[in-house]
Amino acid sequence: MTVCTGNICRSPMAEVVLRDRFTRAGLDGAVLVDSTGISGEEHGNPIDPRAQQVLRSRGYDVPAHRARQVSAVDVVERDLVLAMTATHAHALRRLARGDDAITQRIRMFRSFDPDAPVEGPEHLLDVDDPWYGDDAGFEVTIAEVEAAADGIVAHVREVLDRR
């Protein structure tokens, strides 16, 4: 599960990209990918039109989507929870209520990008928030998402192979 603020830009973009990559890797039947937001402010809204545009321009199919807020149950039920920012990761860890096994499943999305910083504060791995900017911000976001996607697929494949 990918998680951002409102579930209308970053996390659904990541969901679409990951679904595509898992399908290409032959894992689409073995892996469920979804997305949520920390906030309920966008509940029920579709993917932001600018996010839809950048996804389509890169050749992705844009599914029907309705934003929803993450719950503690979501965090418990997922094998991997991918936070778009350090703030999102912190909120997700609070939902885990101190359960170390669950907390270990919460990872920064960009931690799977081989070119992302490996040392320093967690916020250095934040996926840029395109909401307040122009269309160029959505290009930055999709590039960050795509850069980490193959690493996530490799990680999931490794986990599945161990089972």
Q: Catalytic positions, please?
A: 4, 10, 129
DSSP character for 36? E
C-alpha angle 28/85/148, rounded to 5°?
A: 40
Number of other CB atoms surrounding residue 32 within 10 Å: 12
Task: Provide CB contacts within 8 A for 15, sequence distance 6+.
Answer: 2, 33, 34, 35, 65
